[in-house]
Amino acid sequence: MNYNKTNNIIGWICGLIATIVYVLTVERTTSFWDTGEFIASAYKMQIVHQPGAPLFLMLQNVFSNLAFGNAERIAYWMNIGSAVSSGLTILFLFWTITALARKVIWKPGTELTQAGLIRIMGAGAVGALAYTFSDTFWFSAVESEVYAMSSLCTAVVFWAILKWEAHADEPGADKWLLFIAYIMGLSIGVHLLNLLAIPAIALLVYFRRTKQATSGGAIKALLIGCLVVAVVLWGVIQYLIKFAAYFDLFFVNTLGMGFGSGVVVFALLIVGGTVYGIWYSIQKAKPLLNIIMLSFAFVVFGYSSFAMIMIRAKADPTLNNSDPDNVFSMLSYLNREQYGDEPKLKGPYFDSRPVDISYGSNIYRKGAEKYEVAGRNFDYVYDRETVFPRIHSSREASHQQYYRSYLNLGENEQPTFGDNLRFFFSYQIGHMYGRYFLWNFVGRQNDQQGHGDLSTGNWISGIKFIDQLHVGGQDALPESLKSDPSHNRFYFLPLILGLIGAFWHFKRRQKDAGVVGLLFFFTGLAIVLYLNQNPLQPRERDYAYAGSFYAFTIWIGLGVIGISEWLTKLNGKTAAGIATAIGLLAGPVILAKDGWDDHDRSQKSLARDIAIDYLESCAPNAILFTYGDNDTYPLWYVQEVENVRPDVRVVNLSLLSADWYVRQMTKKVNEAEALPIDIPEEKYVKGVRDVIYYQDAKIPGPVELRNIVALMLSDNPNDKRQVQSEQAENFLPTKSLQLTVDKDAVIRHNVVPTVWQDSIADTIQWTYNRNYVSRAELAIMDILVNNNWERPIYFATTVPSDNFMGLDKYLVSEGFALRLMPINMAPNTSQGLVNADAVYDHVMNNYKWGNIKNSPYIDPESYRMISLMLNNIYAAPAEALIAEGKKEEAKKLLNNALEYMPERIYRIMDAYGYSFIAENLYAVGEIDKANALIERNTNYLEEQLRYYAAIAETKPNLEMQNIQYSMFTLNRFAESAKENGQEELSARITKTFSQYETRFFGGMPSGN
């Protein structure tokens, strides 16, 4: 009783400490990436991106009620939901460690000594608190993302299997197995990562149930565990829905019954079969069959949270990703079909060429009365394939270039299987897992995402000799790196503690250590094998491996016991106390000390504020095209939750190529009217005009866009050609396009500033920039044809120019958005056309900056926005204002930049952005401020170059891009200072430039 009481109290204390830490450091509003979508969807019970997280959304909706109607606090309370989930994870981790430690320390039939109690509790506290302050888990704990709740599910099931093990010989002990099955089913509605604990659970069950365990038996148990994962992952999650879909297909298309009738019959068969199986197992006294059938029932019961997806999809909410309102679209949703799939066991090299197509089963869509065939699944057959393909991605030219650079392959050199393995071990395991593991338990250079540059994103330890060997340049570390909040040094101490714990565990309790090791492997390296990630990921992916780091912190905790056993000269209590103190200092304390400043998000709000800025850049009733997660999800959040500018219709170009999204765009949402798309739905449904290819029809001169759209939508066989298939299909006959402009409509709707109205064009003419027209471009073309300038059309500044369709010269910056204007004007700034008056008004009256200057920490996505803001929001408009003779307005705009932009320089790209600010400060007479800005940035660049030079002493294969950018920026500073009479400053910069030009380029020009 004393043990249980102590175990419960200390466990709850650790959980409470973790929760308090997370509440103190939690973000007060939305953050970048998926949280904006999750918060907006949880608030209004909407549908998030595939494959969905319905249970997570429903639970987060409960937390949203704690805001008591205050829209600005809803995101905060959902973030608190993650903090609470994470605190509970620490609680169950503590109980897991103490349960494992107890089996070694407290032998059955003996009395637990005080020394033993201290060792067990010390191990639990050190391990649990180490995970509390680990980088990856802490990051997920302070935002409304699925990974905190997913970690809780993993912690609960692993704790539960240890509870079952402790009571396995007692009547009714198998209730713990049923509890695990239910949590597994529920976890599917959060994230699939929890399923990877099943093999470790299977092995523990085998060890507990088998009197004489053997290696062969353990391998069989492991394989059975993997089979169970496969059954749940494919059998339950996918094939249950697939069978239901084909039942429905038969009942609807063959028997002529209504949609959903086959699903009902299939559900009744599943329920009836499960009930019968349970009854049969009881009647025939088959305990194994009974536990299997009951576990299946509980998994399916937990999985039923996905009913929320179809129920809410039928309600057609504003955010309705994939519109899974019928069983076939639900199947596509669960299969994550919009993201495609990476090859696992066999596939192409990155330079392989498709030579044939292998067709599979039909793809169905819901029609008016029946399911209709929308096409067929297919796979390409390649000229070269390999087993275990790792260098496979040929989707982007940048991927191919990266593979060649990474593997030192010539332009036409074919990769080999050896290159395949080299990439797997060095990049996928080393860079995309090992580096993250060491971030958590050794240290991190900084949080700048790197793809090989030795100055970004590496692990470091804080031990100069080791770091010198690893990345070099430790004697010339720039001040910006030393003072970077994400510059964390743990001196290998948490790693060493964990290795001590693992060594002790395998020595004293090999079977249990093997179970923890399996959990470590399956939630870490097995994910690497399964994901088969291609290079140049848009963000760091360490969150996927949180379960692996969870397993390692179990060994960090057990390291306390290993240390205490080494202190043989001391009495038991003293050794246990000293070991616990050492563990706390080497684990949680050092992790918290260096990790706090870069995990405290309590004072930043840039994701929310920048979303508001995007919307405020738009005129009323605008159409705003966005592209990626970070220029879309935060906008959804501020519109759906805080009701900011609901009149603006946000259109994500990445989704617009899907028929369901085009259909949603034809309906009004909130205060935003439907898009002016007149294409009949049957002309763009899935399988119809998915892609329209270009075939030059040799048409002279530009063709009216209306006629091109009509041709591409025509069902007349005479308007079709054989382009990519044997069948005639719609095609794009020319890339030379034009749109006749109704000048009266342009003036009436204030599309163009009054001073530019003389430049309104009779037609806008452009060259289409792609060899195909997807549904997205087709929809945009139809909008241009039908809008007649009634609604303002914008592209977010972060949209890649390739998505402008060739309309670049007609896009005018009005801040964070580029407005389509039918004008014939030369660019009025070095950055392109800028409506300086509009930007000035937005900056001085509307824009918010998320405390980016004064927040002690801003995340990588936030500081990646700095260059964009310096160039697009400040420098270019100031340049235009100066050219228009509005120097006073330009001065105010530039001083606003100095007031709100951070003085800290985060990246070399930021220094480059400040070069434009400095030039304009000189132009408005702010000489001292320009000099100070140049001085600060020059010092920063000089430190960076000194560091690169030091790295080059031991690492000659440097990434040169940052060096070239630094040199180019220094040159700009020197020229700017000289042109404005600052000879001394210019001479100093030129001296620095010459020094490093000789060092890196041998006196040759560094290039522009």
Is the pLDDT at 620 greater than 70, yes or no? yes
pLDDT digits (tens, 9 = 90+) for 479-533: 989 899 999 999 999 999 999 999 999 999 999 999 999 999 999 999 999 989 8
Is the pLDDT higher at 931 or at 470?
931
Q: Which of 837, 800, 807 is nearest to 822 (CA)?
A: 807
Other Cβ atoms within 10 Å of 312 Cβ, number: 21
How would residue 279 be classed by pLDDT, with cut points 50, 70 and 90? very high
Report the C-alpha gap between 1007 and 379 in whole angstroms: 45
Same structural domain for residues 281 and 356?
A: no
Residue 875 lies in a domain: no
Give the up-direction half-sphere exposure of residue 533: CA atoms within 13 A in the CB hemisphere.
22
Q: Which of 551, 568, 595 is the last residue of a domain?
A: 595
Across residues 840-844, what is the average pLDDT?
A: 96
Angle at 122 between CA 120 and CA 125, to 5 degrees: 110
Record the tokens describing residue 979, joined without a space: 């042109």
Same structural domain for residues 368 and 298?
A: no
Residue 168 lies in a domain: yes
Q: DSSP letters along 268-312, please?
A: HHHHHHHHHHHHHHHHTT-HHHHHHHHHHHHHHHHHGGGHHHHHH
Strand order in the sheet with 811-813: 649-652, 623-626, 793-796, 817-820, 811-813
Residue 672 lies in a domain: no
Report the C-alpha gap between 430 and 458 in whole angstroms: 11
Report the C-alpha gap between 658 and 662 in whole angstroms: 7
pTM: 0.93
Residue 834 lies in a domain: no
Looking at residue 453, its pLDDT comes to 74
Spacing of C-alpha 692 from chain mean position: 31
Same structural domain for residues 108 and 173?
A: yes
Q: Which of 356, 389, 415 is the last residue of a domain?
A: 415
> Among 631-635, 670-674, 947-951, which is the least confidently predicted range?
947-951
Report the C-alpha gap between 452 and 460 in whole angstroms: 15
Looking at residue 1007, its pLDDT comes to 41
Same structural domain for residues 265 and 409?
A: no
Residue 931 lies in a domain: no
Same structural domain for residues 281 and 408?
A: no
Same structural domain for residues 192 and 285?
A: yes
Is the pLDDT at 869 greater than 80, yes or no? yes
855-to-595, 849, 851 alpha-carbon distances in Å: 16, 11, 6
Same structural domain for residues 392 and 278?
A: no
What mean pLDDT value characterizes the chain?
Answer: 92
How are beta strands 811-813 and 488-489 bridged, if at all?
Answer: unpaired
Report the C-alpha gap between 8 and 334 in whole angstroms: 39
Report the C-alpha gap between 360 and 690 in whole angstroms: 18
Report the C-alpha gap between 196 and 547 in whole angstroms: 9
Same structural domain for residues 167 and 244?
A: yes
Residue 783 lies in a domain: no
Beta carbons of 592 and 496 less than 8 angstroms apart: no
Record the tokens describing residue 691, joined without a space: 């892609």
Looking at residue 312, its pLDDT comes to 95
Is the pLDDT at 728 greater than 90, yes or no? no
Instruction: Provide the residue count of the chain.
Output: 1008
Q: Which of 377, 393, 415 is the last residue of a domain?
A: 415
Is the pLDDT higher at 962 or at 274?
274
Q: Number of folded domains in the chain?
A: 2
Report the C-alpha gap between 652 and 631 in whole angstroms: 9
Looking at residue 395, its pLDDT comes to 65
Record the tokens describing residue 659, joined without a space: 């028929």
Alpha-helix runs per DSSP H in 585-677? 590-595, 606-616, 633-640, 659-665
Same structural domain for residues 302 and 403?
A: no
Report the C-alpha gap between 597 and 482 in whole angstroms: 13
Looking at residue 813, its pLDDT comes to 96
What domain range is 228 assigned to? 2-310+492-595
Residue with tokens 């470091």: 460
Residue 273 lies in a domain: yes
Beta carbons of 705 and 779 less than 8 angstroms apart: no
Same structural domain for residues 246 and 348?
A: no
pLDDT digits (tens, 9 = 90+) for 280-333: 999 999 999 999 999 999 999 999 999 999 999 999 999 999 999 999 999 999
Q: Which of 591, 588, 561, 590 is nearest to 577 (CA)?
A: 561
Same structural domain for residues 233 and 371?
A: no
Record the tokens describing residue 730, joined without a space: 């719609």
Looking at residue 474, its pLDDT comes to 86
Rg of the chain taking only CA atoms, in angstroms: 31
Q: Which of 653, 744, 651, 729 is nearest to 695 (CA)?
A: 729
Record the tokens describing residue 199, joined without a space: 């093999």
**Residue 727 exposed, middle or buried by CB count within 10 Å (0-12, 13-18, 19+):** exposed
Give the up-direction half-sphere exposure of residue 650: CA atoms within 13 A in the CB hemisphere.
31
Looking at residue 1005, its pLDDT comes to 42
Is the pLDDT at 1 greater than 80, yes or no? no
Q: Which of 151, 193, 179, 187 is nearest to 306 (CA)?
A: 187
58-to-42, 53, 188, 190, 622 alpha-carbon distances in Å: 6, 9, 13, 10, 32
| 796, containing H or E segment | strand 793-796
Residue 70 lies in a domain: yes
pLDDT digits (tens, 9 = 90+) for 772-806: 999 999 999 999 999 999 999 999 999 999 999 99
* Amino acid letter for position 427: Y
Angle at 583 between CA 579 and CA 584, to 5 degrees: 120
Is the pLDDT at 181 greater than 60, yes or no? yes
Record the tokens describing residue 660, joined without a space: 């369901």
Peptide bond into 51 cis (omega under 30): yes
DSSP-assigned beta bridge partners for residue 703: 737
pLDDT digits (tens, 9 = 90+) for 519-577: 999 999 999 999 898 888 888 999 999 999 999 999 999 999 999 999 977 888 999 99
Across residues 849-853, what is the average pLDDT?
A: 92
Angle, in degrees to the nearest 10, between helices 287-303 and 175-188: 30
User: Torsion angle of alpha carbons 291, 297, 301, 307, nearest 10°?
Assistant: 150
Share of the chain above pLDDT 90, in %: 79
Phi, psi of 353 (to 5 degrees): -120, 135
Is the pLDDT at 1006 greater than 80, yes or no? no
Same structural domain for residues 306 and 346?
A: no
How would residue 396 be classed by pLDDT, with cut points 50, 70 and 90? low
